[in-house]
């Protein structure tokens, strides 16, 4: 079994390398009209440069998974700004895509928590479609639209899960089919449990991203990992790639939903033990605060338990 690991957005080891430098609408609106476009271009350019830096860091450390920042392009979906961010940066996007393909990296996006399809407000659904389209446009500009995925949560319950799920069934029809085909769904830490999210995934033929930390914080009654893992694998069958699992651990016993700086190996070991009998490859996205540092430390700890490390972010599981 090959287990591969990745991290989110920026490498904390790198100096001044955030790919999510911001330009707020408040700041943008205070600029003179001739300065506004320059600010958009300057901020986007910095984020694309830092995305490349972060990718080179991952490649240098032989880390095979990476999640792009959703904030590469400032104000891309703001109703008063929405702008053509692809044309001026076609070369930079293509360079990123070529680098990803050349090194066989698995990449993804994770739109924010407001990108959901369960709201009773039509404007929320409209904005969700706009946001998913924005992320797809970035994948398309990188020529990664057939490889990258965009992961979101099911959404809110609004006091009635059954009605909310019915709205999901209807509202998801507004998402163009080619964008929906690049979508995954993840269980969350407060509302939709692993089994509930799996049900939505199976109904709509969407791959399920299992968040182990969220599962612990928001657990189905009497649901065992063996109730979840086989169904998780099945949702990825038609993709031709291994399933993805999110890994993090609680900041403290009281702050169970908050992510710690690193990943507590003792917290995640039950998951690895549950996965072993399946003998399947799995990819893991580290969501700890220390990102790349948390990843490298966890891989080192897991390899010290008798598992063979075959790369900076890859192990052959044996223990």
3-class SS string, the chain: CEEEEEEECCCCCCCCCCCCCCCCHHHHHHCCHHHHHHHHHHHHHHHHHHHHHHHHHHHHCCCCEEECCCCCCCCCCCCCCCCCCCHHHHHHHHHHHHHHHHCCCEEEECCCCCCCCCCCCHHHHHHHHHHHHHHHHHHHHCCCCCCCEEEEECCCCCCCHHHHHHHHHHHHHHCCHHHHCCEEEECCCCCCCHHHHHHHHHHHCCCEEEEHHHHHHCCCCCCCHHHHHHHHHHHCHHHCCCCEEEECCECCCCCCCCECCCCCHHHHHHHHHHHHHHCCCEEEEECCCCHHHHHHHHHHHHHCCCCEEEECCEEECCC
**Which position has the higher pLDDT, 251 or 139?**
139
Would you place residue 219 in the very low, low, confident or very high pLDDT band (cuts 50, 70, 90)?
confident
pLDDT, mean of residues 7-20: 96
Residue 195 confidence (pLDDT):
96
Q: Is the pLDDT of residue 222 over 90?
A: no
Q: What is the mean pLDDT of residues 151-164?
A: 96
Q: Are 302 and 265 in contact (CB under 8 A)?
A: yes
C-alpha–C-alpha distance, residues 64 and 108, integer Å: 12
- Looking at residue 39, its pLDDT comes to 97
Which two structure tokens, joined as six digits, stand for 271? 């998951």
Q: What b/e string do you get for 28-41 counting C-beta neighbours within 10 Å, with b at 16 or more?
A: beeeeeeebeeebe
Task: Supply the pLDDT for residue 111.
Answer: 96
Binning pLDDT at 50, 70 and 90, where does residue 253 land? Answer: confident
pLDDT for res 318: 87
**Domain covering 2-316: architecture:** Alpha-Beta Barrel (3.20)
Cα 64 to Cα 316: distance, rounded to the nearest angstrom: 14
Span 102-123, pLDDT tens digits: 999 999 999 988 999 999 999 9
Cα–Cα distance, 224 to 129 (Å, whole number)? 34
Residue 167 predicted with pLDDT over 90: yes
Mode of pairing for the β-strands spanning 308-311 and 314-316? antiparallel
The residues spanned by each domain of the chain are 2-316
- Tell me the pLDDT band of 293, cut-offs 50, 70 and 90: very high
Please, what is the average pLDDT of the chain? 96
Q: Tell me what pLDDT residue 34 has.
A: 87
Pick left, alpha or beta for residue 66 (phi over 0 → left; psi -120 to 50 → alpha; otherwise beta).
beta
Kindly tell me if the per-residue pLDDT of 319 is higher than 80: no
């Amino acid at each position: 079994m090959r287990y591969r690991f990745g991290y989110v957005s920026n490498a904390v080891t790198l100096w001044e390398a955030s790919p999510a430098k911001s330009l707020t609408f408040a700041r943008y609106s205070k600029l003179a009209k001739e300065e506004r476009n320059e600010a958009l271009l300057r901020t986007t350019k910095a984020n694309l440069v830092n995305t490349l830096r972060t990718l080179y860091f991952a490649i240098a450390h032989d880390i095979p998974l990476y999640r792009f920042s959703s904030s590469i392009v400032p104000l891309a979906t703001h109703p008063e700004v929405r702008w053509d961010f692809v044309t001026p940066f076609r070369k930079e996007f293509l360079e990123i895509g070529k680098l990803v393909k050349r090194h066989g990296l698995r990449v993804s996006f994770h739109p924010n928590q407001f990108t959901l399809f369960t709201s009773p407000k039509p404007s929320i659904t409209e904005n969700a479609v706009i946001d998913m389209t924005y992320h797809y446009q970035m994948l398309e500009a990188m020529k990664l639209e057939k490889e990258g995925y965009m992961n979101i949560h099911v959404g809110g319950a609004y006091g009635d899960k059954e009605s909310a799920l019915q709205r999901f069934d209807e509202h998801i029809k507004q998402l163009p089919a080619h964008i929906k085909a690049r979508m995954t769904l993840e269980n969350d830490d407060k509302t939709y449990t692993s089994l509930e999210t799996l049900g939505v995934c199976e109904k709509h033929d969407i791959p399920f991203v299992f968040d182990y930390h969220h599962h612990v914080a928001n657990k189905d009654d009497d649901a065992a990992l063996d109730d979840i893992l086989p169904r998780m694998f099945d949702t990825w069958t038609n993709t031709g790639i291994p399933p993805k699992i999110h890994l993090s651990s609680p900041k403290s016993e009281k702050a169970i939903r908050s992510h710690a700086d690193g990943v507590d190996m003792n917290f995640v070991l039950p998951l690895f033990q549950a996965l072993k009998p399946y003998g399947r490859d799995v990819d893991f996205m580290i969501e700890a605060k220390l990102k790349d540092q948390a990843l490298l430390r966890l891989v080192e700890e897991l390899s010290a338990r008798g598992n063979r490390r075959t790369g900076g972010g890859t192990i052959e599981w044996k223990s």
